[in-house]
């Protein structure tokens, strides 16, 4: 399921944010959740072995914008749209109510008001769909150098490790959420057309991700999990949010 929130600047003609604003959106989501659920997701999440999954993801802000490189800011025209997706209906309904009840929504120091909000159910899908990223997808492994120090290796969508990590991640999310292993783990993700690389600074950590269109094939349960919980790692930090691509090839969003 998706939550689509349309917001506009309150008493301002534009919305000015730091270029790296993922942390503000994540903070907004946790702030708007009610106590027990917010505490569960923030402190525990859905656990499998040593892994914790928050089971939600969110898009970058969607709207017309310009970049002020000198100030390291992104400046949106009056209105923006935010998508939040999750397999947890209670999570999306709590957020929806909170967005509606709060007259002032703060993203950083920018005060916004909600114009429209709607919950969109995930569409019926086949075993093959084309998706467009709403936030970059990241897949990585922690490796060791010869002298023993650790480093993070990020993989390109054309690397076989990217495919392997995405599939394993979806299977683990499914098991963590539903409490049982997925019966059929067949899943393929294949990049289509031009893929853009992005480097996002999240709380001082630089994360490499990729945006563009991807073909998803395989088990419908895993495809649905990808649509609702996100693809790849760090979904609750603003990575891996995807949506079924528009059939006319047009898009109504931007990824910086």
**Which residues are identified as catalytic?**
30, 42
Here the tokens at position 235 are: 């979904």
Tokens 């993922």 correspond to what residue? 22
**What are the b/e assignments for 68-98, b being 16+ CB within 10 Å?**
eeeeeebebeebbbbbbbbbbeebbebbbeb
Looking at the DSSP bridge assignments, the partners of residue 243 are: 132
Contact, 99 vs 28, CB < 8 A?
Answer: no
User: Residue 90 is inside which H or E element, if any?
Assistant: helix 89-101
CA-to-CA distance for 88 and 73, rounded, in angstroms? 33
Here the tokens at position 152 are: 């993070």
User: Does residue 23 sit in helix, strand or coil?
Assistant: helix
φ, ψ dihedrals at 26, nearest 5°: -60, -45
Looking at the DSSP bridge assignments, the partners of residue 140 are: 154
- DSSP conformation letters of 73-123: EEEEESEEEEEEE-S-HHHHHHHHHHHHH-S-EEETTEEEEEEEEEEEPPP
CA-to-CA distance for 239 and 60, rounded, in angstroms? 9
Contact, 107 vs 29, CB < 8 A?
Answer: no
Alpha carbon of residue 116 to chain centroid: 20
């Amino acid at each position: 399921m998706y939550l689509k929130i349309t917001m506009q600047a309150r008493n301002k003609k534009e919305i000015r944010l730091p270029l790296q604003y993922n942390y503000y959106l994540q903070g907004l989501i946790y702030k708007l959740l009610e106590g027990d659920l917010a505490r569960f997701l923030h402190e525990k999440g859905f656990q499998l072995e040593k892994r914790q999954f928050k089971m939600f993801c969110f898009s970058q802000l969607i709207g017309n914008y310009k970049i002020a490189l000198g100030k390291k800011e992104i400046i949106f025209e009056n209105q923006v749209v935010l998508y939040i997706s999750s397999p947890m209906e209670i999570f999306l309904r709590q957020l929806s109510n909170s967005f509606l009840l709060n007259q002032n929504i703060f993203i950083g120091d920018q005060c916004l008001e909600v114009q429209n909000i709607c919950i969109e159910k995930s569409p019926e899908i086949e075993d093959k769909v084309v998706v467009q990223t709403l936030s970059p997808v990241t897949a990585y492994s922690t490796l060791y150098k010869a002298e023993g120090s650790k480093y993070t290796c990020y993989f390109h969508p054309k690397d076989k490790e990217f495919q392997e990590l995405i599939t394993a991640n979806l299977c683990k999310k499914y098991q963590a959420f539903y409490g049982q292993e997925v019966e059929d783990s067949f899943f393929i993700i294949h990049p289509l057309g031009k893929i853009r690389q992005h480097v996002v600074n999240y709380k001082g950590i630089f994360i490499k991700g990729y945006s563009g269109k991807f073909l998803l094939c395989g088990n419908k349960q895993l495809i649905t999990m990808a649509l609702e919980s996100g693809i790849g790692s760090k979904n609750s930090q603003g990575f891996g949010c995807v949506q079924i691509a528009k059939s006319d090839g047009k898009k109504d969003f931007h990824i910086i």
